[in-house]
C-alpha cells in the first residue's frame, strides 16, 4: 500500500471518531442517540494538512458520519502514535445529529478525559427545546454536563412538555 493511501485511510478512520460523540443535551437527549460509529465517514475542507502528529481540515471543514455532521471553519485532530487524542473545531462550529443541533465558536473533544467542551455563545436545540450559555462541558463517560453563563452571566433554557 502506498504512503498516500495509508494516510488517507488513517485520516478517514480518525475523523470517524470525531462524530462518534453522543448527544450533549443532558436531560433532553437519549444517551448514545447520536452515535454512528458503524457508519462510513467522510471529510472535506478547502485545504487538508497531514503530519504524523495531526490532521487539519481548513476552510469550510466538515466531517460527516451517518446522519451526524461536524462543521467549522477549521477542524484540527491531534494524533499520538497514530491514535486520535484530541479534536478541536474552531469558528462557526455546528454539530448536527438527527435529534439536536449544537452551535458554538469552539469545540474541543479530549479523548483521555472523555469530555466535549463547547464555548462561545453556545446554543443547543432539540426539537423546540433550546438551551443557551457561554460554555458547555459534557462528560461522555458519566453523561454529566455543566453549563456556565454567557455574556450576561446566565444559562437559559426553554423546554416544552412532550407532545406540545
Distance (Å, whole) CA 163 – CA 70: 29
CB 144 within 8 A of CB 136: no
Distance (Å, whole) CA 104 – CA 95: 9
User: Can you name the residues that pair with 55 across neighbouring β-strands?
Assistant: 50, 77
Domains, the chain, with CATH or none: 3-116 (2.60.450)
Measure the CA angle with vertex 117, ends 128 and 9; round to 5°: 100
Distance (Å, whole) CA 14 – CA 79: 9
pLDDT tens for the chain, 164 residues long, are 344 333 333 333 333 333 344 444 333 333 333 344 577 878 899 999 998 899 999 999 998 888 888 899 999 989 888 788 898 999 999 988 888 888 999 999 888 888 889 999 999 998 889 999 999 998 878 878 899 998 888 999 999 988 66
Residue carrying the nine cell digits 491531534 = 78
Q: What would the 3-class secondary structure string for the chain be?
A: CCHHHHHHHHHHHHHHHHCCCCCCCHHHCCCCCCCCCCCCEEEECCEEEEECCEEEEEEEEEEEECCEEEEEEEEEEEEECCEEEEEEEEEEEEEECCCCEEEEEEEEEECCCCEEEEEEEEEEEECCEEEEEEEEEEECCCCEEEEECCCCCCCEEECCCCCC
Question: What was the pLDDT predicted at 164?
Answer: 60
Question: What was the pLDDT predicted at 163?
Answer: 67
Amino acid at each position: 500500500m502506498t504512503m498516500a493511501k495509508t494516510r488517507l485511510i488513517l485520516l478517514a478512520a480518525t475523523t470517524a471518531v470525531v462524530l462518534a460523540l453522543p448527544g450533549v443535551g443532558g436531560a433532553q437527549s437519549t444517551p448514545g442517540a447520536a452515535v454512528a460509529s458503524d457508519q462510513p465517514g467522510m471529510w472535506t475542507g478547502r485545504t487538508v494538512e497531514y503530519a504524523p502528529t495531526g490532521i487539519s481540515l481548513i476552510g469550510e471543514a466538515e466531517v460527516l458520519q451517518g446522519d451526524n455532521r461536524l462543521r467549522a471553519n477549521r477542524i484540527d485532530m491531534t494524533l499520538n502514535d497514530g491514535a486520535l487524542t484530541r479534536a478541536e473545531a474552531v469558528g462557526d462550529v455546528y454539530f448536527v445529529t438527527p435529534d439536536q443541533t449544537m452551535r458554538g465558536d469552539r469545540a474541543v473533544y479530549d479523548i483521555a478525559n472523555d469530555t466535549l467542551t463547547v464555548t462561545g455563545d453556545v446554543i443547543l436545540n432539540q426539537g423546540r427545546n433550546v438551551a443557551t450559555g457561554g460554555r458547555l462541558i459534557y462528560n461522555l463517560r458519566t453523561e454529566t454536563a455543566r453549563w456556565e453563563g454567557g455574556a450576561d452571566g446566565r444559562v437559559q433554557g426553554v423546554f416544552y412538555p412532550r407532545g406540545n
